Each structure stands twice: as C-alpha cells, then as structure tokens.
Amino acid sequence: MNEQNPAAENPENLRREVEQLRRAIETRPVIDLARGALMASFGLSRQDAWKVLVNVSQHSNSKLRQIAEDLVSSINGEPLPGPLQRQLSAALAPFRAKPDTPPDKTDVLAPTEDGRRIRAE
C-alpha cells in the first residue's frame, strides 16, 4: 500500500489525477497573466490578486480559468462582460477603500534643504 499517494493503487484514480494535473498546467499561464494584470492595475499583492480571482469565481459561479481568460481578453481590447465587471468591482472594493478624510497635519512629512523629510508643524 502506498501511504503517500492512495491514487496510485487505483488506475482510475491515477488517470483522474493525471488529467487534473494536465488541466492545471494548461490553465496556469492565463491565470498567472490575470493575476499579474490585477497586481499591476490595482497595486495588489500576489495573494490579494489570487483572493480577488477566487472571490469573483465563487460569486459568479464561473470557473477561475474562464474569469482569467475574460480578464486577459479585456486587456487585449475585448469588452468585459457586465456581470463579471460587477463581480470584479465588488471583489476589489475592500482593496480600494481608503479614508475620505485628509491626513492629519502631523502625518505629513516636509522636505528640508538637505533632502531629509521631517514632520510638518
């Protein structure tokens, strides 16, 4: 008995696992492109871009691969479907939230003649 990989004991399980790995290899590039586009466009980290893709996929009941393909197509000039636009906007909202109040004067750094920055009085 192979304790590390129980799929190896059943040929059908092994075939399924190989097929899943093939699909992952085929879809990975477009997902990485979409993740990179979100990172570049919205200043997200890799993890946050992944969270956005997963959130949109779950809330739109769509495959993550399809979401990624639509996003990459939109970069190339294709219109982003309306429902996907709404889901994407909702998933990005927490990352866009910034306080509407101006920063406190004590938080502003002022440049000095020698290039250092000090707290503004």
| Average pLDDT of the residues in 16-29 | 85
* pLDDT at residue 20 in the model: 85
Q: How many CA atoms lie within 13 A of 33 on its CB side?
A: 17
Q: How far is CA 18 from CA 4, 11, 32, in A?
A: 16, 10, 21
Residue 83 near residue 30 (C-beta atoms within 8 A): no
CA–CA distance from 101 to each of 90, 94, 98 (Å)?
22, 17, 9
pLDDT of residue 119: 52
Which residues are paired to 109 by β-bridges? 119
CB 67 within 8 A of CB 56: yes
And the tokens for 93?
A: 């909202």
State if pTM tops 0.85.
no
Domains of the chain: 1-83 (1.10.10.10)
Instruction: Enumerate long-range contacts of 112-116, CB under 8 Å, 24 or more apart.
Output: none
Whether 84 has a pLDDT exceeding 50, the answer reads yes
Bridge partners of 2, per DSSP, are none
Q: What is the pLDDT of residues 53-80, one digit of tens each?
A: 999 999 999 999 999 999 999 988 899 8
Percent of the chain with pLDDT over 90: 47
